[in-house]
Amino acid sequence: MTERERRPVVGITTQTLEAIPDQLPRCWVMSQRYVQVLVAAEAIPWVIPLLEHDEATLRGIYERTDALFLPGGVDIDPASYGEARRPACGRSDPARDWTELLLTRWALADGKPVLAVCRGAQILNVAVGGTLYQDVAVERPDALKHDQFPIGGRRRDELSHDVRIAAGSRLGRLLDAAVLPVNSMHHQGIARLAPGLTPVAVAADGLIEGVELVPSDDRFVLGVQWHPEDLVDVDPRMRRLFDAFIAAARAVRR
């Protein structure tokens, strides 16, 4: 098997960085951590620009990839799921929303593996017809504190709360756990779950923290609300998510 056959190509979407006067023009950016963890899992990452409305070029990139990784980032514009923006909704990136929804729908239609984290899990839900809480604390005042961002000395790998994992789910089989402590860096969350998705991880307050396709089949489509890329060094089980994702992508390449 050649190196190209052994290492599948994984598309990673980006985010818009607005121009910084006298320093930088408008850029597309994404955390290096995602790339590093995927490389460690023996993928070849392809960082995808947000070519809004250039469907032909994006299709050309997409067809050269074996799987799609949807990373975390800014809020999703409520217009993407048919709602008006509320005051608690934060900064969004319409070009990213458009690009990710397009790529996600293509990947689902073609059976390509999809791994989605944090915002990515929310995009997955929106792509197939679900909605979001624009701000969990405002719309679910009974909820846990999910927005445990790395400020005030907190680290990205700090564990914030537990999730209960559905028995028999792909996620449960990969992590071999019924209850799992996770980090939590989001203020939006899944409100109405999309048809075709099933909840496979739930926080104590009932917020959905993990989703898979239903009915379950051989396609790898998994979204988690936490950030496993920041936990792989403190909880080796998290590496299994990336290893299984790349194994599925490798099968597509073969």
pLDDT digits (tens, 9 = 90+) for 13-72: 999 999 999 999 999 999 999 999 999 999 999 999 999 999 999 999 999 999 999 999
User: Which residue out of 118, 186, 187, 212 is catalytically annotated?
Assistant: 118
| CA distance from start to end of the chain | 10
Q: Tokens representing 154?
A: 């907190």
Give the residue-averaged pLDDT of 104-115: 97
- CA–CA distance, 77 with 28 (Å, rounded to integer): 18
Q: Would the pLDDT of 9 be above 60? A: yes
The number of beta carbons lying within 10 Å of the beta carbon of residue 22 is 5
- pLDDT tens string 60-103: 999 999 999 999 999 999 999 999 999 999 999 999 999 999 99
229 is an active site residue: yes
27 is an active site residue: no
In this prediction, residue 3 carries a pLDDT of 61
89 is an active site residue: no
pTM confidence score:
0.96
- CA–CA distance, 87 with 81 (Å, rounded to integer): 17
Residue 107: C-alpha distances to residues 25, 73, 79, 127 (Å) = 31, 20, 22, 11
User: Could you tell me how many residues make up the chain?
Assistant: 254
User: Which residue out of 146, 161, 187, 227 is catalytically annotated?
Assistant: 227
Residues in CB range of 154: below 8 A, 6 or more apart:
148
Q: Would the pLDDT of 5 be above 80? A: no
| Structural domains of the chain ordered from first start | 3-253 (3.40.50.880)
